Structure 1
C-alpha cells in the first residue's frame, strides 16, 4: 500500500512520499482529522495531531479486527493467519500473553551479548575504508539475524524470508505481493510443523507446542483467554513476529544514521558524549519514525473523533509520524536534537497495541549505532543525500540504501 493521498487541497509542491512531514504539517494546520485515499485499501480518516492520535489509540470503539470494516468481505488475498495486531481484546490479550515474556526487558538484556556479537561480525565483513551500503551490509542483516535466531528460522532461509516480507510491507505490485504472501504462508506452515515434530528450544517451537495443546481439545472460543493457539493463530503470530521483528528496526538504524550525518553538530555531540546514544535513538524514533502509521482501525459504532463524525464501519489511520512532529507536543519539532527528552513520542505506538518488540528494537539500534561509530570515526555520506530513495508505504518508511564513505 502506497502512502495515503489527502482528498482535500494541500500545497501543490508537497509530495506525501518525498516529504510526508510537510504534508502532515499542512493537514495539522487545518485540523486533527482528514479524509484520505489509501491506494489498494480505499478511503480512510487520517489522524494527525498528537492528542487526537493518543485518544484514538485508546478508544475502545475503534477496533483492529477488519471484520468491523463496512467494506469487509474477506480478509484479503494477502492476509496470513490471525495475529494480535489485527485482533481486539480478549483475543488480543490471549495472543499477546503467549509471547510477551519472550520480549520482556529482562529477556532482551540476556540477548544483548549475542546482538553485539552479530553486529561485530557484520562490521568485520565491511571494508576498513572506501564506501559501503549500510542498509544492505549492516542495518538489515543485524535485526534479520537476531529475530530469526530467536524464532528458529534456519540461516539458509533468511534471505528468501526477507524478500517475501519486504514485498508484503512495501509491495511493488499486486501480483508480486500475492505471490509473496503465498510463499511466506507456505514456508511458515512447513517450518512450524517441523518445530512441532522436533522442538529445538526456539520461540516457534514453543508456539507450535501451544498449538498442539490447543488442538488436543476444542479451539479457544471467541472471548477465551485460555492458552494455546489455533493453527491459523500460529501462522499469523509467526508471520507478525518475523516481519515486525526486523522491518521497523532496519528503518530505525538507517534513519538514525541518516539524521546524524545530515546534522553534523549532533553527530559531533554524540561522539563527544557516547552516553547520549540512548537519547539519540529516542529522538530518532520521534523525528524520523520508521513506522509512519499504526494498523488500520475500524469504527465499531459511530463516534465523534476530535470533532469529526466517523460512521460505523469507517476505517481510521493514525499517523504516528505526524503526532511525533506536533508542535503542541514537542517544541521546535522539525529540529533533530539528541539532547531532547521526547517523552510521549509515539514511535512504538500507544495503548494496548504498543509495540511488543520495542525493547528488542531499542537494544539492537543502540548497539548497532555505538559499535558502528566506534569502528568508523569519519563516516560521511558517499552520495548527495537528497538523491537517496525512501521506501514509503501506508505503514512504514525507510531508506532503500545508504551509501556511506567509511573513511
Structure 2
C-alpha cells in the first residue's frame, strides 16, 4: 500500500489553508501539468503539498480517486478545515477568518448550508435560463471584437477580450453597476490570483477587499431594487424572519463568490484556450469553420487546459480509503484537477489536444455537490467567444515569440499575464 509520504510536492505559498486551492503551479510553464505531479499520478502515489503556513495536505492525482473524494461530502468537509497554526500563534481571530472564507460562499460550504444557498440561485444558471442570455452575450462579444479591430494589431487578447467579455456578462447578471465594475474587476482578479509571496495578513486583506465591494453592492441594491441576482435574493429571501431567508453576511459571501468565480476562470479559459488553438492550427481552423465541432471542442479545451490546478482543500472527518490509500481522520487532502483530467485512466492520450474526440467526464468544473453552478453559463460564453474571435480575425497569431509569454506562479487560477496577438 502506498504511503502519503512517498513524495513531497513543494507548493508555493497560498492564502490560509482551507481558503484557497493549493498552489500547484510552481514549475508549470505552458499548458502541461508539471512532470512531478504527472509522475505521481502515473505511479499511483499520493503526494504531499505544504502551504506557507505549515499545514501539510495529501495530493490526490488519479482521476477515479479525485472524483471519489469530491463526491464524498460525508467524509471530506471543506468548511471544517482547521486554521493554520501560524494564524493561531499570530493572534488572528480564527473564527473571524473561518467566517470570512465560508459564510455564504458556496465553494467553501458543506451541506446543508451549501444546499440551502445553492437552491436560491440555481434557477439563474440552468441551461434554459442561460440560453435566454445568449443574444446579450453575443452583443458583448461583438462589442469587444469591434474594439479590438478599432485598436488595430498588436493587442493584448487578455485585457481587450478575454477579461472584457466574462466581466461584463457576470456583472450584468449579478447586478454590478457601471460605476463599480472597474473596482470589482481589479479586486476580484487579485482575489483569484493570490501571490506566491503573500503573508497571511496580506491574504486576509486581499480577501476582505473583495468582500467590501460586495457589501457596497448589497447597499446599492437595497436603495435601488432590481431584477438581477442580488435584487432577487433581497426581494425573495432578504426579509426579516423569512422562512427561507438569507442573512446580509451570507448574501455578501454568495455575491462575492459568484462574482469572482464567474469571471476569472472563464477569462483564462479564453486566454489559454486561444493559445492552445494557436499551437494547433489545424484544430483552430476546424473550430473556426465547422460549427458542429464547437461544443465538443470547448469540452476538450476545458479538459486539456487545466485552468484550476487543484480543488479546494478538505479535511477527512473519519478514517477512510481512496483507492488503495489510507486516509486518517484529520488528514487534509486536495485534488489535482488538471492532472486528473489527463490521467491515462480517463484517456490513454490525455496529453494530446483533439477537439474531435467524444466529450469526456472531465473534472474541470469539479464534481459532486460542489460542481460549478455557473458551468452552463461558462460553456455558453466559450462556445460563442472562440468561433467569433477566430472568424473575425482568421489570420490570428502570436505577436511575440511564445517563449516570451509569462504565466502566473503560485495562484489559484493558472493564468497568462498577457497574450499579445496580431492578425
Same fold per superposition (TM over 0.5) = yes
Specify the alignment match of 1:323 in structure 2. Answer: 340
1:122-143 Cα deviation digits (max 9, x unpaired):
1111136421111100010100
User: In the comparison of the two structures, how many residue pairs are matched?
Assistant: 389
Q: Does 1:97 align with 2:123?
A: no
Which of these residues, 270, 273, 295, is aligned with residue 253 of structure 1?
270
Q: Does 1:66 align with 2:83?
A: no
- Asked if 2 retains the 8 angstrom alpha-carbon contact of 1:276 and 1:339, the reply is yes
Residues 308 and 195 (structure 1 numbering): CA distance in 2 closer, same or farther, change over 3 Å? same
- Asked if 2 retains the 8 angstrom alpha-carbon contact of 1:136 and 1:401, the reply is yes
Residues 40 and 114 (structure 1 numbering): CA distance in 2 closer, same or farther, change over 3 Å? farther
Helix, strand or coil for the counterpart of 1:316? strand
- Asked if 1 retains the 8 angstrom alpha-carbon contact of 2:9 and 2:48, the reply is no
Specify the alignment match of 2:392 in structure 1. Answer: 375
1:174-208 Cα deviation digits (max 9, x unpaired):
35543333332222112212312331111111122
Hey, what's the Cα distance between the residues in 2 that align with 1:228 and 1:100? Answer: 15
- Asked if 2 retains the 8 angstrom alpha-carbon contact of 1:261 and 1:380, the reply is yes
User: 290-299 or 245-254, which moves further after superposition?
Assistant: 290-299
Hey, what's the Cα distance between the residues in 2 that align with 1:70 and 1:371? Answer: 46
Hey, what's the Cα distance between the residues in 2 that align with 1:122 and 1:139? Answer: 9
- Asked if 2 retains the 8 angstrom alpha-carbon contact of 1:66 and 1:86, the reply is no
1:219-247 Cα deviation digits (max 9, x unpaired):
xxxxxxx6221222111101111001111
Ranges in structure 1 where 5+ consecutive residues have no aligned partner:
1-5, 218-225
- Asked if 2 retains the 8 angstrom alpha-carbon contact of 1:16 and 1:23, the reply is no
User: 48-57 or 339-348, which moves further after superposition?
Assistant: 339-348
Specify the alignment match of 1:178 in structure 2. Answer: 204
Specify the alignment match of 1:125 in structure 2. Answer: 147
Residues 109 and 41 (structure 1 numbering): CA distance in 2 closer, same or farther, change over 3 Å? farther
Specify the alignment match of 1:144 in structure 2. Answer: 167
Specify the alignment match of 2:309 in structure 1. Answer: 292
Q: How much has 1:390 moved relative to structure 2?
A: 1.6
Hey, what's the Cα distance between the residues in 2 that align with 1:150 and 1:353? Answer: 21
- Asked if 1 retains the 8 angstrom alpha-carbon contact of 2:26 and 2:409, the reply is no
Q: How much has 1:395 moved relative to structure 2?
A: 3.6
Ranges in structure 2 where 5+ consecutive residues have no aligned partner:
1-5, 11-24, 89-93
Q: Does 1:16 align with 2:40?
A: no
Helix, strand or coil for the counterpart of 1:317? strand
Q: Does 1:116 align with 2:138?
A: yes
Residues 275 and 45 (structure 1 numbering): CA distance in 2 closer, same or farther, change over 3 Å? same
Q: Does 1:216 align with 2:238?
A: no
Which of these residues, 43, 50, 63, is aligned with residue 63 of structure 2?
50
Residues 313 and 394 (structure 1 numbering): CA distance in 2 closer, same or farther, change over 3 Å? farther
Residues 25 and 94 (structure 1 numbering): CA distance in 2 closer, same or farther, change over 3 Å? same
Coordinate RMSD, CA, aligned: 2.3
Specify the alignment match of 2:179 in structure 1. Answer: 156
Hey, what's the Cα distance between the residues in 2 that align with 1:16 and 1:286? Answer: 20
Hey, what's the Cα distance between the residues in 2 that align with 1:396 and 1:291? Answer: 5
Structure 1 length-normalised TM: 0.89
Residues 155 and 146 (structure 1 numbering): CA distance in 2 closer, same or farther, change over 3 Å? same
Q: How much has 1:42 moved relative to structure 2?
A: 2.4
Specify the alignment match of 1:76 in structure 2. Answer: 97
- Asked if 2 retains the 8 angstrom alpha-carbon contact of 1:32 and 1:306, the reply is no
Q: How much has 1:387 moved relative to structure 2?
A: 2.3
Helix, strand or coil for the counterpart of 1:373? helix
Specify the alignment match of 1:264 in structure 2. Answer: 281
Q: How much has 1:67 moved relative to structure 2?
A: 4.8
- Asked if 2 retains the 8 angstrom alpha-carbon contact of 1:15 and 1:23, the reply is no
Hey, what's the Cα distance between the residues in 2 that align with 1:284 and 1:206? Answer: 34
- Asked if 2 retains the 8 angstrom alpha-carbon contact of 1:167 and 1:177, the reply is no
Hey, what's the Cα distance between the residues in 2 that align with 1:55 and 1:16? Answer: 27
Specify the alignment match of 2:402 in structure 1. Answer: 385
User: 280-289 or 128-137, which moves further after superposition?
Assistant: 128-137
- Asked if 2 retains the 8 angstrom alpha-carbon contact of 1:32 and 1:52, the reply is no
Residues 9 and 317 (structure 1 numbering): CA distance in 2 closer, same or farther, change over 3 Å? closer
Q: Does 1:200 align with 2:226?
A: yes
